[in-house]
Amino acid sequence: MKTRWLAGLAVCAGLMGGGLVVAQSSPENMLLILSKRGHTLAIVDPVSLKVLAKVPVGDDPHEVIASTDGRTAYVSNYGGGSLHTLAVVDLVGQKALPPIDLTPLRGAHGLTFVGGKTWFTAEGSKVIGRFDPATGKVDWVLGTGQDRTHMIWVAPDEKKIVTANVASGTMSLMELVARGMGPGGPPPVRGRPKNAHRQGGALAGLPPGPPGYFGPRGPDWEETVVKVGSGPEGFDVLGEGKTVWVANAQDGTVSIIDFASKKVTDTLALDVKGANRLRFTLDGKMALISSLSGPDLVFVDVASRKVVKRLKIGTGAAGMVMEPGGARAFVACSPDDYVAVIDLKTRTMVGKIDAGGEPDGMAWAVRR
């Protein structure tokens, strides 16, 4: 009887883990790690660095973001710009939920969660979009007109957006601005009645203009395309978007952009060819740059704009995320099949996490 009971328990444990790993309860703070080769999202205990569960997330997962309440994760299925879904994971139940169909938008990649909604890039369609979990619909789309719109940042007040356009060698800086009258304002018409722009009919016998031509316009997005180096991909922002640092993978440089003037103010020759991600520490004093074509994690002092250390962590690295407390960074060494744990005070590698083959996108989930 005891033998049968133990065998049954083992079968149940295997079913709970989906054949991947025996699931354990999700903690309040979770490190989320994508495995591109395994097509899974690993839920990791950031204290023990142990994988608690692995959840299937579909083909070619690249980036992941968690909802503000830390209960749901969204994963972009990229496919080199061909796929059209976002995978969804219940982080509490540790299970896959029905994916979000973005058709006709394709090639979802960069993700962020702001204002209760999931913002994403759709590289294959040259747009950025926004998914509302409350309605289950994509409620907003904006074209960039750029090639390989890859990564995205959205300000907390949702009035600024930054994207990296890899193949175009540009950054898109978008700002929500107030608009006045319709295009060009009311046309100059002699004898126009006073307050004519408030009238709904024709003016002095003239045919009515386009709808809303004479009326005030609401806020609208203004895009400025800023030329940077070749292959910009990884970037981060300082001061709620006042300054943007972007790593140019093909040039090995970092461009610094002033958001207000929409201009490059400095280009740093830092020898970071193959740069994949750039992230600031939480105090904004240091920038870390990973490279898929080299073994080093590069530490750059923000004030002096100089490299202060090159730390060997593997044969190449991609995704990167900072711990909410600011003590550690986690860097996906994709070619080496592990995630490096970096102590930011000593600037040393203090551990490794095996979360599945070819780890890449990562995020934090804090349950509220």
Neighbours of 23 (CB within 10 A): 19
Please report the pLDDT score of residue 184 as a whole number: 52
Measure the N-to-C terminal CA separation of the chain; round to a whole number of Å: 43
d(CA 46, CA 353): 10
Contact between residue 124 and residue 81 where contact means Cβ atoms under 8 Å apart:
yes
C-alpha separations of 274 from 249, 270, 297, 302 in Å: 4, 12, 11, 20
Question: Whose CA is closest to 39, among 66, 59, 11, 10?
Answer: 59
Please report the pLDDT score of residue 2 as a whole number: 39
Contact between residue 40 and residue 360 where contact means Cβ atoms under 8 Å apart:
no
Question: Which parts of the chain register pLDDT below 70?
Answer: 1-23, 180-217
d(CA 9, CA 38): 26
Peptide linkage before 104 cis (omega within 30 of 0)? yes
d(CA 281, CA 335): 24
Q: How far is CA 313 from the centre of its chain?
A: 23
Strand order, beta sheet including 117-122: 108-114, 117-122, 127-132, 137-143
**Phi and psi based region of residue 215 (left: phi greater than 0; alpha: psi -120 to 50; beta: remaining):** beta
**Would you state the structure tokens that stand for residue 142, as one six-digit string?**
């904006």
Which residue is listed with tokens 């074509």?
A: 293
